[in-house]
Amino acid sequence: MNKELEDLQYLVKRRFSFRINPQFSENFKTNIKDTQIIPLIQEVFKILDWPIVYTDNKSVEAKRKNEWNKLTAKITVIKKSSGRIEVHSKSLEGHLTDFGKNSKRTGLFIALFKKLEKEYSANGKLNELEEEFNKINNWEGYEVPDKLPLPKKNREPNISIAIVGGLILAIILGFFYGYLTNLFGYLIGLYEFGIGISVGYLFGKILVRANYLHEKPAKIMIGSILLIILISSQFIGFIIIKTQNSLTDLSFFNFINLHLERGLTIDNIETGWIGLIIVWGFQLVLPFIIAVFKSTLIVMKAVYEKVPEEVLEYTIFLIKKNKPISEVRLLLAEKGWSEKSDQEDIFDAINVIIGIQDFRRE
């Protein structure tokens, strides 16, 4: 932050907020034209170097980063009626008090907005900001292409590849992690993270190869894979113990029963079979969350990369111009995207873009 902004912020009165993820709101009135408010809000964020994560005709959202590039707050500015503007700042660090930081942010925003409002009204830059905003928002500089790249030939979704690939992956990872945990011991957290990342990345690639990109069935398969990994890792532990101790009469079923009877001991504290069940549940739940997240990213990337950027840009242009979907489909068909499956690929890719935008806003 430069000296001028530091001086502006110094004059802002600090008002404390006490709650989980503290937040603070205040509002003020501006006399500039309604159509100039959003462009000026964007300009203020640009000068403050707070990255904008969302904009529409009524509001702008941005996030503040500290000197270590960590996101510390989300600032939302909403255009109300009669020239009123609400500024809201929310901490993202999970503290119980903000020590007045949110009020400092909202106060700094308002002070800089009022300063620029006065300066830009005098030198005519408000009109320039409005023109530039309208040009971007209304796609005034966009040239409709005469033709579009043709769609790639789509492979038929093959659930068999997904199921067989997932089963092979589960068995291999189960034996691998079972061997490692028996060789080096079980480290809580590290095991779950490794399993989650491995399953998420590898199964995500399998789903893309199978062209099977359905979210709900993929989650069910990931849960099944993790269950098989847990069972097979226990089985490899059973084989190792049985071999090392020459327990020829010990069955896997009896091994699990003995394991439950012995229970789990942590730092000389016996938690019994309940503790063991909780750990097994943890070994399923945490990797599931990580694996779903990782595989979703891979699938989303594949969905997005299916469609050339020129086609996405043209479709978004049509939607921004409030064309009904039926007309969008017709115009796409005229440029070589006549198959419904190809058009659905476009809309899926746009949904990925929207999903990423929503994620950035959180």
Which two three-digit tokens encode residue 9?
């912020």
pLDDT tens for 327-346 read: 999 999 999 999 999 999 99
Q: Which of 23, 139, 42, 137 is nearest to 85 (CA)?
A: 42
CATH architecture observed for domain 3-137: 2-Layer Sandwich (3.30)
pLDDT at position 301 over 90: yes
Using pLDDT thresholds of 50, 70 and 90, give the confidence band for residue 263: low
pLDDT at position 267 over 70: no
pLDDT tens for 9-57 read: 888 888 888 887 899 999 999 999 999 999 999 999 999 999 999 998 8
The Cα–Cα gap between 24 and 141 comes to 39
Q: What pLDDT does 29 receive?
A: 95
The Cα–Cα gap between 241 and 248 comes to 11
Q: What pLDDT does 197 receive?
A: 96
Higher pLDDT, 20 or 114: 114
Q: At 155, which amino acid appears?
A: R
Residues in the chain: 362
How much is the mean pLDDT over the chain?
Answer: 89
Question: How far is residue 342 from each of residues 308, 312, 345, measured CA to CA in Å?
Answer: 12, 12, 5
The average pLDDT across 151-157 equals 84
CB burial readout 235-269, b (16+ within 10 A) else e = bbbbbeebeeeeeeeeeeeebeeebeeeebeeeee
Q: At 115, which amino acid appears?
A: K
Higher pLDDT, 310 or 98: 310
Q: Which of 166, 173, 177, 198 is nearest to 290 (CA)?
A: 198
Using pLDDT thresholds of 50, 70 and 90, give the confidence band for residue 268: low
The Cα–Cα gap between 354 and 179 comes to 42
Domain boundaries, the chain: 3-137, 168-201+214-286, 309-361
Q: Checking phi first, is residue 173 left (phi over 0); if not, alpha (psi -120 to 50) or beta?
A: alpha
- Angle at which helix 340-361 crosses helix 272-305, to 10 degrees, equals 120
Q: What pLDDT does 265 receive?
A: 62
Q: 114-128, 235-249, 253-267 — which one is most confidently predicted on average?
A: 114-128
pLDDT tens for 165-200 read: 999 999 999 999 888 887 777 777 788 999 999 999
